[in-house]
Protein backbone atom coordinates (compact mmCIF):
# COMPACT_ATOMS: atom_id res chain seq x y z
CA UNK A 1 0.00 0.00 0.00
CA UNK A 2 1.32 3.45 -0.84
CA UNK A 3 2.23 5.71 2.07
CA UNK A 4 -0.15 8.36 0.76
CA UNK A 5 -2.91 5.77 0.83
CA UNK A 6 -2.02 4.99 4.44
CA UNK A 7 -2.24 8.64 5.34
CA UNK A 8 -5.65 9.05 3.76
CA UNK A 9 -7.02 5.92 5.41
CA UNK A 10 -8.59 7.61 8.42
CA UNK A 11 -11.95 6.15 7.47
CA UNK A 12 -10.47 2.67 7.86
CA UNK A 13 -9.67 3.15 11.54
CA UNK A 14 -12.39 0.80 12.68
CA UNK A 15 -11.12 -1.87 10.34
CA UNK A 16 -7.47 -1.69 11.40
CA UNK A 17 -5.69 -4.79 12.63
CA UNK A 18 -8.01 -7.36 11.09
CA UNK A 19 -6.67 -10.87 11.33
CA UNK A 20 -5.88 -11.15 7.63
CA UNK A 21 -4.12 -7.79 7.49
CA UNK A 22 -2.03 -8.46 10.57
CA UNK A 23 -1.08 -11.87 9.31
CA UNK A 24 0.04 -10.54 5.95
CA UNK A 25 2.28 -7.94 7.59
CA UNK A 26 3.71 -10.26 10.23
CA UNK A 27 4.42 -13.41 8.23
CA UNK A 28 7.03 -11.73 6.04
CA UNK A 29 10.50 -10.44 6.84
CA UNK A 30 10.62 -6.93 8.31
CA UNK A 31 12.07 -3.76 6.83
CA UNK A 32 14.42 -2.44 9.51
CA UNK A 33 15.31 1.22 10.07
CA UNK A 34 18.15 1.96 12.49
CA UNK A 35 17.56 5.08 14.64
CA UNK A 36 20.72 5.94 16.54
CA UNK A 37 19.60 9.19 18.19
CA UNK A 38 20.73 11.48 20.98
CA UNK A 39 18.03 10.68 23.54
CA UNK A 40 19.93 11.79 26.63
CA UNK A 41 22.05 14.92 26.11
CA UNK A 42 22.17 17.74 23.56
CA UNK A 43 19.28 17.10 21.15
CA UNK A 44 16.59 15.93 23.53
CA UNK A 45 14.48 18.95 22.53
CA UNK A 46 13.79 17.19 19.20
CA UNK A 47 14.91 13.54 19.14
CA UNK A 48 12.07 12.03 21.25
CA UNK A 49 9.44 13.60 18.97
CA UNK A 50 11.11 12.29 15.81
CA UNK A 51 11.59 8.80 17.24
CA UNK A 52 7.98 8.72 18.45
CA UNK A 53 6.71 9.77 15.03
CA UNK A 54 8.74 7.01 13.37
CA UNK A 55 7.35 4.41 15.74
CA UNK A 56 3.76 5.65 15.33
CA UNK A 57 4.06 5.63 11.55
CA UNK A 58 5.51 2.11 11.64
CA UNK A 59 2.66 0.91 13.89
CA UNK A 60 0.05 2.45 11.62
CA UNK A 61 1.72 1.08 8.50
CA UNK A 62 1.95 -2.41 9.97
CA UNK A 63 -1.70 -2.40 11.02
CA UNK A 64 -2.60 -1.51 7.45
CA UNK A 65 -0.72 -4.41 5.89
CA UNK A 66 2.85 -3.19 6.09
CA UNK A 67 4.86 -2.01 3.11
CA UNK A 68 3.93 -4.37 0.31
CA UNK A 69 3.09 -6.91 3.01
CA UNK A 70 6.32 -6.48 4.99
CA UNK A 71 6.23 -5.06 8.53
CA UNK A 72 8.40 -2.11 9.47
CA UNK A 73 10.71 -2.43 12.45
CA UNK A 74 12.15 0.70 14.07
CA UNK A 75 15.34 -0.06 16.02
CA UNK A 76 16.03 2.81 18.45
CA UNK A 77 19.35 3.34 20.23
CA UNK A 78 20.89 6.29 22.13
CA UNK A 79 24.27 7.74 21.11
CA UNK A 80 24.20 10.75 23.46
CA UNK A 81 25.48 12.98 20.64
CA UNK A 82 28.90 11.32 20.97
CA UNK A 83 30.45 10.50 17.58
CA UNK A 84 32.23 7.37 18.84
CA UNK A 85 29.01 5.98 20.34
CA UNK A 86 27.28 6.74 17.06
CA UNK A 87 29.92 4.80 15.15
CA UNK A 88 29.55 1.89 17.59
CA UNK A 89 25.77 1.96 17.12
CA UNK A 90 26.24 1.89 13.35
CA UNK A 91 28.63 -1.05 13.49
CA UNK A 92 26.41 -3.02 15.89
CA UNK A 93 23.24 -2.56 13.84
CA UNK A 94 25.16 -3.26 10.63
CA UNK A 95 26.20 -6.62 12.09
CA UNK A 96 22.53 -7.24 12.84
CA UNK A 97 21.66 -6.72 9.18
CA UNK A 98 20.43 -3.12 9.27
CA UNK A 99 21.47 -1.02 6.25
CA UNK A 100 19.18 2.06 6.56
CA UNK A 101 20.38 4.50 9.23
CA UNK A 102 19.50 7.88 10.72
CA UNK A 103 21.52 9.66 13.42
CA UNK A 104 19.75 13.05 13.75
CA UNK A 105 22.97 14.77 14.80
CA UNK A 106 25.45 16.65 12.66
CA UNK A 107 28.64 15.57 14.49
CA UNK A 108 27.55 11.93 14.68
CA UNK A 109 26.27 11.88 11.11
CA UNK A 110 29.55 13.35 9.87
CA UNK A 111 31.51 10.73 11.81
CA UNK A 112 29.52 7.82 10.37
CA UNK A 113 29.19 9.16 6.81
CA UNK A 114 32.54 7.89 5.44
CA UNK A 115 31.81 4.39 6.80
CA UNK A 116 28.35 4.32 5.26
CA UNK A 117 29.83 5.48 1.95
CA UNK A 118 32.50 2.75 2.02
CA UNK A 119 30.00 0.08 3.06
CA UNK A 120 27.33 1.14 0.59
CA UNK A 121 24.65 1.60 3.26
CA UNK A 122 21.85 4.15 3.13
CA UNK A 123 22.29 7.17 5.41
CA UNK A 124 19.15 9.24 6.03
CA UNK A 125 20.33 12.79 6.76
CA UNK A 126 17.31 15.10 6.64
CA UNK A 127 17.80 18.51 8.32
CA UNK A 128 21.22 17.70 9.86
CA UNK A 129 24.73 16.90 8.64
CA UNK A 130 26.72 18.18 5.70
CA UNK A 131 24.94 20.72 3.51
CA UNK A 132 26.78 19.51 0.41
CA UNK A 133 25.51 15.94 0.87
CA UNK A 134 22.53 16.78 -1.36
CA UNK A 135 25.01 16.31 -4.21
CA UNK A 136 24.06 12.74 -5.09
CA UNK A 137 26.84 12.45 -7.66
CA UNK A 138 29.37 12.64 -4.81
CA UNK A 139 27.41 11.41 -1.78
CA UNK A 140 25.81 8.42 -3.47
CA UNK A 141 24.52 6.75 -0.28
CA UNK A 142 23.44 9.84 1.68
CA UNK A 143 19.86 11.13 1.49
CA UNK A 144 19.29 14.53 3.14
CA UNK A 145 15.71 14.66 1.82
CA UNK A 146 14.44 18.19 2.44
CA UNK A 147 16.17 21.58 2.39
CA UNK A 148 19.67 22.22 3.69
CA UNK A 149 20.43 25.15 6.00
CA UNK A 150 22.05 26.84 3.00
CA UNK A 151 18.87 26.62 0.97
CA UNK A 152 16.69 27.65 3.89
CA UNK A 153 18.80 30.77 4.44
CA UNK A 154 18.57 31.64 0.74
CA UNK A 155 14.80 31.18 0.86
CA UNK A 156 14.66 33.50 3.90
CA UNK A 157 16.43 36.22 1.94
CA UNK A 158 13.94 35.75 -0.91
CA UNK A 159 11.06 36.18 1.57
CA UNK A 160 12.55 39.39 2.92
CA UNK A 161 13.09 40.66 -0.62
CA UNK A 162 9.42 40.07 -1.37
CA UNK A 163 8.42 41.92 1.81
CA UNK A 164 10.52 44.88 0.64
CA UNK A 165 8.81 45.20 -2.74
CA UNK A 166 11.37 43.13 -4.58
CA UNK A 167 14.37 45.39 -3.93
CA UNK A 168 17.04 44.77 -1.29
CA UNK A 169 19.37 47.51 -2.54
CA UNK A 170 18.81 49.74 0.48
CA UNK A 171 18.07 46.95 2.98
CA UNK A 172 19.98 45.89 6.05
CA UNK A 173 19.65 42.28 7.21
CA UNK A 174 21.00 41.07 10.52
CA UNK A 175 22.05 37.50 11.22
CA UNK A 176 22.05 36.45 14.88
CA UNK A 177 23.52 33.00 15.36
CA UNK A 178 25.09 30.56 17.78
CA UNK A 179 28.82 30.91 17.26
CA UNK A 180 29.65 27.31 16.38
CA UNK A 181 29.29 25.29 13.14
CA UNK A 182 25.48 25.00 13.17
CA UNK A 183 25.03 28.75 13.49
CA UNK A 184 27.90 29.67 11.20
CA UNK A 185 26.76 27.46 8.31
CA UNK A 186 24.54 29.99 6.47
CA UNK A 187 27.09 32.82 6.57
CA UNK A 188 28.72 32.07 3.21
CA UNK A 189 25.35 31.98 1.46
CA UNK A 190 24.24 35.20 3.15
CA UNK A 191 27.46 36.97 2.16
CA UNK A 192 27.11 35.79 -1.43
CA UNK A 193 23.51 37.01 -1.59
CA UNK A 194 24.49 40.29 0.03
CA UNK A 195 26.88 40.93 -2.87
CA UNK A 196 24.34 39.76 -5.42
CA UNK A 197 21.36 41.76 -4.10
CA UNK A 198 23.20 44.74 -2.64
CA UNK A 199 21.88 44.54 0.93
CA UNK A 200 24.02 45.25 3.96
CA UNK A 201 24.66 42.14 6.07
CA UNK A 202 25.38 42.50 9.77
CA UNK A 203 26.59 39.47 11.77
CA UNK A 204 25.72 39.03 15.45
CA UNK A 205 27.41 35.96 16.95
CA UNK A 206 26.09 34.63 20.24
CA UNK A 207 28.22 32.40 22.52
CA UNK A 208 26.95 28.95 23.43
CA UNK A 209 24.49 28.01 24.83
CA UNK A 210 22.67 31.19 23.74
CA UNK A 211 21.72 32.54 27.16
CA UNK A 212 23.86 35.68 26.84
CA UNK A 213 22.59 37.77 23.92
CA UNK A 214 22.65 41.24 25.45
CA UNK A 215 25.68 42.41 23.45
CA UNK A 216 24.25 41.20 20.16
CA UNK A 217 20.88 42.87 20.68
CA UNK A 218 22.44 46.14 21.85
CA UNK A 219 24.24 46.23 18.49
CA UNK A 220 21.01 45.35 16.70
CA UNK A 221 19.32 48.29 18.44
CA UNK A 222 22.04 50.62 17.14
CA UNK A 223 22.24 49.12 13.65
CA UNK A 224 18.45 49.01 13.08
CA UNK A 225 18.32 46.14 10.55
CA UNK A 226 15.12 45.76 8.57
CA UNK A 227 14.95 42.06 9.44
CA UNK A 228 16.92 39.67 11.62
CA UNK A 229 17.42 36.09 10.49
CA UNK A 230 18.02 33.87 13.52
CA UNK A 231 20.02 30.64 13.75
CA UNK A 232 19.36 29.87 17.41
CA UNK A 233 17.98 26.81 19.18
CA UNK A 234 15.33 26.15 21.84
CA UNK A 235 15.89 28.48 24.82
CA UNK A 236 17.92 30.81 22.62
CA UNK A 237 14.67 32.00 21.04
CA UNK A 238 13.19 32.71 24.46
CA UNK A 239 16.20 34.84 25.39
CA UNK A 240 15.99 36.61 22.01
CA UNK A 241 12.31 37.46 22.61
CA UNK A 242 13.18 39.13 25.89
CA UNK A 243 16.00 41.06 24.26
CA UNK A 244 13.70 42.17 21.44
CA UNK A 245 11.27 43.62 23.97
CA UNK A 246 14.10 45.29 25.89
CA UNK A 247 15.61 46.78 22.74
CA UNK A 248 12.29 47.55 21.06
CA UNK A 249 12.93 45.40 18.04
CA UNK A 250 9.66 44.28 16.37
CA UNK A 251 9.14 40.54 16.79
CA UNK A 252 7.50 40.31 13.37
CA UNK A 253 10.89 41.15 11.83
CA UNK A 254 12.54 38.16 13.52
CA UNK A 255 12.77 35.20 11.10
CA UNK A 256 13.83 32.02 12.83
CA UNK A 257 15.51 28.90 11.53
CA UNK A 258 13.16 25.88 11.52
CA UNK A 259 14.17 24.90 15.07
CA UNK A 260 11.44 26.89 16.83
CA UNK A 261 8.65 24.76 18.23
CA UNK A 262 5.54 24.91 20.39
CA UNK A 263 7.55 24.50 23.60
CA UNK A 264 9.54 27.61 22.69
CA UNK A 265 6.34 29.52 21.93
CA UNK A 266 4.90 28.52 25.31
CA UNK A 267 8.09 29.65 27.05
CA UNK A 268 8.01 32.97 25.22
CA UNK A 269 4.26 33.25 25.87
CA UNK A 270 1.64 32.62 23.19
CA UNK A 271 0.55 36.26 23.11
CA UNK A 272 4.05 37.69 23.49
CA UNK A 273 5.21 35.55 20.54
CA UNK A 274 2.48 36.85 18.25
CA UNK A 275 4.00 37.88 14.93
CA UNK A 276 7.22 35.87 15.16
CA UNK A 277 8.32 34.30 11.85
CA UNK A 278 9.70 30.86 11.18
CA UNK A 279 11.23 29.36 8.07
CA UNK A 280 10.03 25.78 8.08
CA UNK A 281 10.75 22.50 6.34
CA UNK A 282 7.47 20.85 7.35
CA UNK A 283 3.87 21.91 7.88
CA UNK A 284 3.13 22.77 11.48
CA UNK A 285 0.02 22.00 13.51
CA UNK A 286 -2.16 18.96 14.06
CA UNK A 287 -4.48 19.41 11.07
CA UNK A 288 -1.88 17.73 8.85
CA UNK A 289 -3.71 14.53 7.79
CA UNK A 290 -1.21 11.97 9.11
CA UNK A 291 -0.80 13.77 12.45
CA UNK A 292 -4.58 14.05 12.81
CA UNK A 293 -4.82 10.35 12.01
CA UNK A 294 -2.35 9.44 14.74
CA UNK A 295 -4.23 11.51 17.29
CA UNK A 296 -7.59 10.01 16.37
CA UNK A 297 -6.41 6.43 15.84
CA UNK A 298 -4.01 5.97 18.73
CA UNK A 299 -3.77 8.86 21.16
CA UNK A 300 -7.51 9.24 21.65
CA UNK A 301 -7.41 5.61 22.82
CA UNK A 302 -4.20 5.81 24.86
CA UNK A 303 -2.26 3.63 22.42
CA UNK A 304 0.40 5.96 21.02
CA UNK A 305 4.12 5.27 21.15
CA UNK A 306 4.70 8.04 23.71
CA UNK A 307 3.08 11.07 25.35
CA UNK A 308 0.44 12.93 23.39
CA UNK A 309 2.15 16.23 24.19
CA UNK A 310 4.97 15.31 21.79
CA UNK A 311 2.47 14.85 18.96
CA UNK A 312 1.42 18.48 19.38
CA UNK A 313 4.87 19.66 18.36
CA UNK A 314 6.23 20.54 14.93
CA UNK A 315 9.20 18.25 15.56
CA UNK A 316 6.80 15.29 15.55
CA UNK A 317 5.72 16.46 12.08
CA UNK A 318 9.41 16.57 11.19
CA UNK A 319 9.68 12.88 12.09
CA UNK A 320 6.62 12.11 10.00
CA UNK A 321 8.19 13.90 7.03
CA UNK A 322 11.50 12.04 7.33
CA UNK A 323 9.97 8.60 7.74
CA UNK A 324 7.08 8.93 5.33
CA UNK A 325 9.72 9.57 2.65
CA UNK A 326 11.77 6.61 3.90
CA UNK A 327 8.75 4.29 3.86
CA UNK A 328 7.85 5.52 0.38
CA UNK A 329 11.35 4.64 -0.79
CA UNK A 330 10.97 1.15 0.71
CA UNK A 331 7.66 0.72 -1.10
CA UNK A 332 9.22 1.75 -4.41
CA UNK A 333 12.17 -0.58 -3.81
CA UNK A 334 9.89 -3.60 -3.42
CA UNK A 335 7.51 -2.73 -6.25
CA UNK A 336 10.33 -1.98 -8.67
CA UNK A 337 12.89 -4.61 -7.67
CA UNK A 338 11.10 -7.13 -5.48
CA UNK A 339 12.15 -8.63 -2.18
CA UNK A 340 14.57 -8.56 -0.49
CA UNK A 341 15.29 -4.86 -0.32
CA UNK A 342 19.02 -4.26 -0.74
CA UNK A 343 21.05 -1.11 -0.14
CA UNK A 344 21.27 -0.69 -3.92
CA UNK A 345 17.51 -1.08 -4.48
CA UNK A 346 16.80 1.32 -1.59
CA UNK A 347 19.21 3.86 -3.06
CA UNK A 348 17.59 3.58 -6.47
CA UNK A 349 14.15 3.88 -4.89
CA UNK A 350 15.04 7.07 -3.03
CA UNK A 351 16.22 8.48 -6.36
CA UNK A 352 12.82 7.61 -7.85
CA UNK A 353 10.70 9.57 -5.34
CA UNK A 354 8.69 12.08 -7.34
CA UNK A 355 6.51 14.95 -6.13
CA UNK A 356 5.99 13.27 -2.74
CA UNK A 357 4.72 15.35 0.18
CA UNK A 358 3.50 12.77 2.70
CA UNK A 359 -0.01 14.08 1.99
CA UNK A 360 0.86 17.61 3.02
CA UNK A 361 3.34 17.11 5.87
CA UNK A 362 6.18 18.66 3.86
CA UNK A 363 6.96 20.40 0.59
CA UNK A 364 6.71 18.11 -2.44
CA UNK A 365 10.09 16.47 -3.02
CA UNK A 366 11.48 14.95 -6.19
CA UNK A 367 14.73 13.13 -5.47
CA UNK A 368 17.13 12.34 -8.32
CA UNK A 369 20.57 10.85 -8.70
CA UNK A 370 21.95 14.39 -8.87
CA UNK A 371 19.81 16.01 -6.14
CA UNK A 372 19.35 13.90 -3.02
CA UNK A 373 17.61 16.77 -1.25
CA UNK A 374 14.54 16.82 -3.41
CA UNK A 375 14.34 20.47 -4.36
CA UNK A 376 15.10 22.51 -1.22
CA UNK A 377 11.67 24.06 -0.73
CA UNK A 378 10.70 25.81 2.51
CA UNK A 379 7.99 28.27 3.47
CA UNK A 380 7.60 31.04 6.03
CA UNK A 381 4.99 30.74 8.77
CA UNK A 382 3.89 33.33 11.33
CA UNK A 383 2.56 32.74 14.83
CA UNK A 384 -0.83 34.46 15.20
CA UNK A 385 -1.19 33.95 18.95
CA UNK A 386 -2.80 30.54 18.63
CA UNK A 387 -1.29 28.72 15.66
CA UNK A 388 1.17 28.95 12.78
CA UNK A 389 -0.16 30.61 9.65
CA UNK A 390 1.66 30.05 6.32
CA UNK A 391 2.66 33.34 4.67
CA UNK A 392 4.14 31.80 1.55
CA UNK A 393 3.84 28.75 -0.65
CA UNK A 394 6.60 26.16 -0.65
CA UNK A 395 9.44 27.47 -2.78
CA UNK A 396 13.18 27.28 -3.40
CA UNK A 397 15.03 30.43 -4.45
CA UNK A 398 18.55 31.32 -5.54
CA UNK A 399 19.12 27.69 -6.52
CA UNK A 400 22.06 28.67 -8.73
CA UNK A 401 23.82 30.41 -5.85
CA UNK A 402 23.21 27.54 -3.43
CA UNK A 403 24.29 24.86 -5.87
CA UNK A 404 27.49 26.73 -6.68
CA UNK A 405 28.37 26.52 -2.98
CA UNK A 406 27.28 22.87 -2.81
CA UNK A 407 29.48 21.91 -5.75
CA UNK A 408 32.45 23.90 -4.50
CA UNK A 409 32.23 22.08 -1.18
CA UNK A 410 31.40 18.57 -2.39
CA UNK A 411 34.26 18.45 -4.88
CA UNK A 412 36.67 18.60 -1.94
CA UNK A 413 35.16 15.50 -0.29
CA UNK A 414 36.97 12.17 -0.22
CA UNK A 415 35.87 9.05 1.64
CA UNK A 416 39.37 8.70 3.07
Amino acid 5: pLDDT: 45
Are 188 and 151 a contacting pair, CB within 8 Å?
no
Q: What is the DSSP secondary structure assignment for residue 373, as one 8-state letter?
A: S
Amino acid 21: pLDDT: 36
Amino acid 26: pLDDT: 58
Are 249 and 176 a contacting pair, CB within 8 Å?
no
As its CATH architecture, domain 150-280+380-398 has 3-Layer(aba) Sandwich (3.40)
3-147+284-367 and 150-280+380-398 agree in CATH topology = yes
Amino acid 399: pLDDT: 97
State the Cα–Cα distance between residues 202 and 64, nearest whole angstrom: 52
Which sequence spans correspond to the domains of the chain? 3-147+284-367, 150-280+380-398
As its CATH architecture, domain 3-147+284-367 has 3-Layer(aba) Sandwich (3.40)
Are 10 and 289 a contacting pair, CB within 8 Å?
yes
State the Cα–Cα distance between residues 374 and 325, nearest whole angstrom: 11
For the chain, the residue count is 416
Q: What is the mean pLDDT of each run of 10 residues along the chain (416 residues)?
A: 44 29 63 97 94 98 97 97 97 98 94 97 94 97 96 97 97 97 93 97 96 98 98 96 98 97 96 97 92 97 96 96 98 97 98 96 97 97 94 97 95 89
State the Cα–Cα distance between residues 345 and 365, nearest whole angstrom: 19
Element (H, E) at 178: strand 172-178
In the chain, count H helices and then E strands. Answer: 15, 12
Are 103 and 109 a contacting pair, CB within 8 Å?
yes
Amino acid sequence: MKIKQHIKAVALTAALATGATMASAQDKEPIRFGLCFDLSKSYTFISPQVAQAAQDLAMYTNENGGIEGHPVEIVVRDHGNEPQRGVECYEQLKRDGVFIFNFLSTPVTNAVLPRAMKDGNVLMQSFVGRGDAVDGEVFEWVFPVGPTYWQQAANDVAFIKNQMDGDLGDAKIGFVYLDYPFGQEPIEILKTLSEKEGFELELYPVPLPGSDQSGAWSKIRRDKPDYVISWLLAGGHVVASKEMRRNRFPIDRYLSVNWLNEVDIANIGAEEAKGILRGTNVAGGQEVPIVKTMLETYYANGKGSGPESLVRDVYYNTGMAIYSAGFEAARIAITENGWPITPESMKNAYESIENFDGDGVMAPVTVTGEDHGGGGKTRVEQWDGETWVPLTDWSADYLDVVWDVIKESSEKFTVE
